[in-house]
Structure 1
Amino acid sequence: MTHYDIHSIRADFPILKTKVNGYPLVYLDNGATTQKPQSVINAITDYYTQINSNVHRGVHHLSQLATDAYEVTRRKLSEFINAAQDYEVILTNGTTHSINLVAHCYGKQFVKEGDEIIISAMEHHSNIVPWQMLCEEQGAKLRVVPINDEGELDMGAYQAMLNERVKLVSITYVSNTLGTLNPIKEITKLAHDHGIPVLVDGAQAIQHLHVDVQALDVDFFAFSGHKMYGPTGVGVLYGKEKWLDQMPPYQGGGDMIKEVRFEKTIYNELPFKFEAGTPNIEAGICLGAAVDYIKTIGLSQIALYETELLKYATKALSEIDQIRFIGTAKEKSSVISFLVNGAHPYDVGVILDKLGIAVRTGHHCTQPLMERFGIPGTVRASIAMYNTKEEIDLLVSAVKRAASMLL
């Protein structure tokens, strides 16, 4: 790859200068949330000191500035994922909110008793529970695509599940636990051959891969701001106009209405139909700053760097005799999950924390996946654009130390 200025990138993230227990912070919990560059932090301060006001409702100067900035973010996001129209981008609270919106609005409209929803065995709870709730309410059936021991989808089983009863396929792009990169374009085409729409949970993909929703031809795509170097409390639901037009609103209140009478309410046009109430204005505007930051580095550059780092980390950790990887798919992104010496993941995580290394331990909101592998959880190291080979070396050294202590 061409030159990737990791030192300059790291300098943009003030928290990376932190020390933990006297050790330099090695932050490898990016699958849970990413750190924020100074430009995003500055954007938060600028919003509150210069343009703080409610959006879409005021004629005064500050309201116009806030509204313009908020809608600029929508345009940036639309361009970032190559949506056909800006109004196909709905601003939500995050991936969970986005999936629940579709489960409620699409589900109530199109899913009836005896119908089926397809998910996979590697889904986050946020892409399981909303569909369970829908199926219980509507008398539908939830079907689960199995995975192999490497953590890859059984595509033959998936094809066999597709029939006229299936009303939606909802699947993750990148597994938050396994790192498996799913063949979304193929999954979508197979579903569309049967007239079935597809929702993609893109929470673990948007910060690592170039996402083109038109090229993928997905019907819905959900992701969160805080996993792409932006603020918490804001996310995105992309939906094709044809589906969003047919779906009823998710919530009632201000902004989602065009006209209110006690006898009848006329709902607003897209995207506002799905954006009831005062949004998280600051986070929405500052998510635009995160998009700008990613674009200054370039997703293609980020992807190349992270792929190289993932290979380096996998090879280095594999040389530890006591390690067992969970998730060894041929196509992976950003995540390494492992167990050490039969020790409980929590115990390993505590030792790593004492050495300044932040990883995630537990079931990672994928309890059915843990049951599939017969384990209580894993240690998960998840990488980002600002991690380094030197940090991976520190992780490997700390894991070796944990292995020796937990014999």
Structure 2
Amino acid sequence: MNHAAIRSQFPLLNCLQEEDYPLCYLDNAATAQKPAMVLQAMDAFYRQQNANVHRGSYQLSAAATAAVEASRDKLQRFINAEQRQEVIFTHGTTESLNMLAYGLEPQLQAGDLILVDSAAHHANIVPWQQLALRTGAQVVPIPLDEELRLDDAACKLLLAKRPKIVALSHVSNVLGTVNNITALCQRIRAAGAISVVDGAQAVAHLPVDVQALGCDFYAFSGHKMYGPTGVGILWGKLAQLEQLTPMLTGGEMIKTVSFSGSTFGALPHRLEAGTPPIAEIIGLAAAVDFLTQFVDANSRQHEQRLLQQLRDGLLAMPAVELYAAHADNLGAIAFNIRGEHHHDVGALLDQQGIAIRCGHHCAMPLMSLMALNGCCRASLGIYNNEQDVARFLAALQQTIALLTEEI
């Protein structure tokens, strides 16, 4: 399928903004737009199939249950999980990482070391800090080098201290830098630690094979990969998942309940208490269908060419300061206009129909390392095209002129 045909599947991209500007959407790292097949799948569930799952003895409930479990099978194939029970439905990456930080608590004690990527999203920092407070463990950041990548030498020294958990980003949500997860997880495994990977920014931009990556846990969200909000995946090796203490308890995840005590059921339902986000799970499966059918090596190369076009255009503007704009980055580029506040830049771009993200991007420790109070971020999706990048660059030139003109 050609790129124009892919773009045509996203209804919101045809909407006009204020002043009749067509939407130029460059905030895909925050959330991606949804193709028609995702919207249709969720609408069809509510119109034709709406029932609770795993509990009903009637046909409608059986059909809804079958749709959810078929979605699990689809996700298993999508990330190449060894077993379907390893795919746990959550409400997103944040809940997945909190589930891990709670579930791993019995395996930690005072003095244990938890290493965290210095470029991590807050969702991969704060849960580990809370775990450390509960257990007396210590959270230590893995430093970044001058290129704002993980410092290899520092990482080796920290792993020599035999940490219990190492939490990494697959792709930085701010900078778009990519960690070599396969190599890092080999070292982490050799050090006897548990590896946790936040894959929220990776799944829309590159194929993910959890067995090849070699991590213990991998988490991601549906809404970053053209699926719905409110649904995500926690994948883990089966033996590791079986050791987790459930964070949420109640219905669905139990085997027996009495007032003398309760016993928990088997995976995956043991970690899926309550009614799941059924329509969202079905929508996520449709997003997997979209990625599987329409996103291939050529479309990914197209996305990388756009990122290079974006990078080259920004480099040509003397007023723009780029951060870690490496050729092998994925999806996003971070920048500021020298001497100007990032929110002013974002507001002026918005007036021209350009949607980017400005702020600390839920990565305040990274902002502190960069000596910034925030920055602008333009992030690409599979539907963006050369015209989007050209419009953004022209609008940014106009914004620079407006901000820097003499009064």
TM-score norm. by structure 1 comes to 0.97
- Tell me by how many angstroms 1:303 deviates: 2.2
Q: Give the match's secondary structure for 1:178.
A: coil
- Which residue type is aligned with residue 87 of structure 1? Q
- 1:76 aligns with 74
1:370 to 2:392 alignment: no
- 2:239 aligns with 242
- Which residue type is aligned with residue 401 of structure 1? Q
Contact between 1:75 and 1:86, CA under 8 Å: does it hold in 2? yes
Contact between 2:162 and 2:192, CA under 8 Å: does it hold in 1? no
- 1:197 aligns with 194
Distance 2:313 2:401 in 1: 17
Distance 2:133 2:161 in 1: 20
- 2:255 aligns with 258
Contact between 2:3 and 2:299, CA under 8 Å: does it hold in 1? no
Aligned-pair RMSD on alpha carbons?
1.0
- 2:289 aligns with 292
- 1:183 aligns with 180
Q: 1:116 aligns with which of 101, 113, 121?
A: 113
Q: Which moved more, 1:302-311 or 1:193-202?
A: 302-311
Aligned ranges 1:8-407 → 2 under 5 Å: 8-21=5-18, 22-106=20-104, 108-163=105-160, 165-407=162-404
What do residues 250-294 of structure 1 show as CA deviations (whole Å, max 9, x unaligned)?
211011001112112111100000000001111011110110011
TM-score norm. by structure 2 comes to 0.97
- Tell me by how many angstroms 1:26 deviates: 0.2
Unaligned runs of 5+ in 2: none
Contact between 2:162 and 2:191, CA under 8 Å: does it hold in 1? no
Contact between 2:314 and 2:322, CA under 8 Å: does it hold in 1? no
Q: Give the match's secondary structure for 1:103.
A: helix
Distance 1:365 1:340 in 2: 20
Contact between 1:370 and 1:376, CA under 8 Å: does it hold in 2? yes
What do residues 199-255 of structure 1 show as CA deviations (whole Å, max 9, x unaligned)?
100000011010000001110000000111111000000010011111121211011
Q: Which moved more, 1:25-34 or 1:371-380?
A: 371-380
What do residues 96-115 of structure 1 show as CA deviations (whole Å, max 9, x unaligned)?
00000000001x12111000
Distance 2:139 2:333 in 1: 29
- Which residue type is aligned with residue 95 of structure 1? T
Distance 1:188 1:98 in 2: 19
Q: Give the match's secondary structure for 1:365.
A: coil
Contact between 2:102 and 2:245, CA under 8 Å: does it hold in 1? no
Q: How many residues align?
A: 403
Distance 1:299 1:116 in 2: 40
- Which residue type is aligned with residue 33 of structure 1? T
- Which residue type is aligned with residue 131 of structure 1? W
Contact between 2:112 and 2:138, CA under 8 Å: does it hold in 1? yes
Q: Give the match's secondary structure for 1:73.
A: helix
Distance 1:127 1:299, change over 3 A: farther
Q: Give the match's secondary structure for 2:129.
A: helix
Contact between 2:162 and 2:193, CA under 8 Å: does it hold in 1? no
What do residues 38-89 of structure 1 show as CA deviations (whole Å, max 9, x unaligned)?
1111111100010000000011011000000001111111100000000000
Distance 2:159 2:214 in 1: 18
Distance 2:59 2:223 in 1: 29
Contact between 2:55 and 2:61, CA under 8 Å: does it hold in 1? yes
Distance 1:26 1:20 in 2: 9
Distance 1:159 1:256 in 2: 40
Q: Give the match's secondary structure for 1:19.
A: coil
Unaligned runs of 5+ in 1: none
Q: Give the match's secondary structure for 2:164.
A: strand
- Which residue type is aligned with residue 71 of structure 2? T
Moved over 3 A (4+): none
- Tell me by how many angstroms 1:299 deviates: 4.1
- Which residue type is aligned with residue 336 of structure 1? I
- Which residue type is aligned with residue 35 of structure 2? P
- Tell me by how many angstroms 1:406 deviates: 1.2
Distance 1:20 1:315 in 2: 27
